């Protein structure tokens, strides 16, 4: 593993922590305004911020970079859209588990589309992460599949597709322009969904605006920029495994801030997810050292 890939993986881990740590803030905000109205405002702020810092670089993008960035942004919006529809008829625990299955879908997609087969360490990490997700979120609780579960799974396909598409963005192009195209596309997607299924309102509560500004500038604007840069140096499978830690951070923040209780299953589940990520990160290094030792 190169130093640049290590930095990229750490950046993605920080992004997953950011997503997980804002769960309480976003939950409070969407209790006051419709979900896609909030997302439209959030990605509107992100778009303004990135256009302000990357306006000239957007004009330098070639057709391929623009198309891939736009597709990634629309897949991101589709992920949110399908997941939100599913939330109406299925529980949050099931949503957390099904959303976490991106850790499986991404390597399968990479193997089918680009013949990128996961190595042994990645397979062990994926299995451990899925087991951890089942314990942390409650999985499907042995209950039959609901229609909402299928909508959430479609959302997971959207999020997984976004990770896969970003991994194909050209590395020679400044990531700021591509990140700007992504958040603008996500804004358009979320805005259209809001107009179709919601009655958008202009929020007056300062808590909503605090959530909009923080998530828009830090988690969405800076977050998409970080993801676009980092995935140029680390495989999509690595990114998916790192993003599987998001519910771990969400559970920890919920415990620390609003006093949500953590069961033994949740603690073990979080540990398995972190173990899976570490195996994926450190496994190749261990095998390399073992090979060197055997050759001496």
pLDDT in tens, 70-105: 999 999 999 988 888 887 777 666 777 888 899 999
Residues 138-194: tens digit of each pLDDT: 876 666 777 788 998 999 999 999 999 999 999 888 899 999 999 999 999 999 999
Tell me the pLDDT band of 28, cut-offs 50, 70 and 90: confident
Half-sphere exposure of 152 (CA within 13 A, CB side): 22
What per-residue confidence (pLDDT) applies to 226? 95
- Domain count along the chain: 1
Residue 100: inside a domain: yes
Residue 184: inside a domain: yes
With a cut of 50, say whether residue 292 has pLDDT above it.
no
Residue 292: inside a domain: no
Tell me the pLDDT band of 216, cut-offs 50, 70 and 90: very high
Residue 241: inside a domain: yes
What range defines the domain where residue 62 resides? Answer: 3-287
C-alpha angle with apex 50: 47 to 55, nearest 5 degrees? Answer: 110
With a cut of 80, say whether residue 295 has pLDDT above it.
no
Residue 296: inside a domain: no
Length of the chain: 296
CB atoms within 10 A of CB 203: 17
DSSP type of residue 146? P
């Amino acid at each position: 593993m190169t130093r640049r890939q290590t930095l990229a993986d750490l950046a993605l881990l920080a992004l997953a922590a950011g997503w997980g740590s804002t769960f309480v803030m976003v939950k409070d905000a969407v209790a006051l305004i419709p979900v896609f109205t909030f997302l439209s405002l959030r990605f509107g702020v992100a778009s303004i911020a990135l256009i302000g810092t990357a306006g000239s670089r957007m004009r330098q993008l070639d057709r391929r970079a623009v198309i891939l960035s736009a597709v990634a942004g629309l897949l991101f919006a589709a992920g949110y859209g399908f997941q939100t529809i599913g939330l109406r008829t299925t529980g949050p625990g099931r949503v957390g588990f099904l959303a976490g299955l991106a850790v499986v879908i991404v390597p399968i997609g990479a193997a089918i589309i680009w013949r990128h087969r996961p190595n042994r360490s990645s397979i062990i990490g994926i299995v451990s992460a899925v087991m951890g997700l089942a314990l942390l979120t409650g999985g499907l609780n042995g209950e039959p599949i609901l229609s909402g579960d299928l909508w959430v799974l479609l959302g997971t396909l959207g999020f997984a597709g976004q990770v896969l598409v970003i991994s194909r963005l050209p590395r020679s192009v400044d990531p700021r322009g591509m990140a700007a195209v992504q958040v603008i596309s996500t804004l358009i997607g979320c805005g259209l969904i809001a107009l179709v299924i919601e009655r958008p309102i202009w929020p007056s509560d300062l808590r909503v605006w605090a959530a909009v500004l923080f998530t828009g500038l830090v988690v969405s604007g800076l977050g998409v920029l970080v993801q676009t840069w980092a995935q140029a140096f680390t495989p999509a499978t690595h990114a998916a495994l790192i993003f599987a830690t998001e519910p771990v951070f969400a559970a920890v923040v919920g415990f620390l801030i609003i006093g949500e209780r953590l069961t033994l299953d949740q603690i073990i589940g979080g540990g398995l997810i972190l173990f899976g990520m570490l195996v994926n990160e450190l496994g190749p290094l261990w095998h390399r050292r073992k090979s060197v030792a055997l050759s001496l």
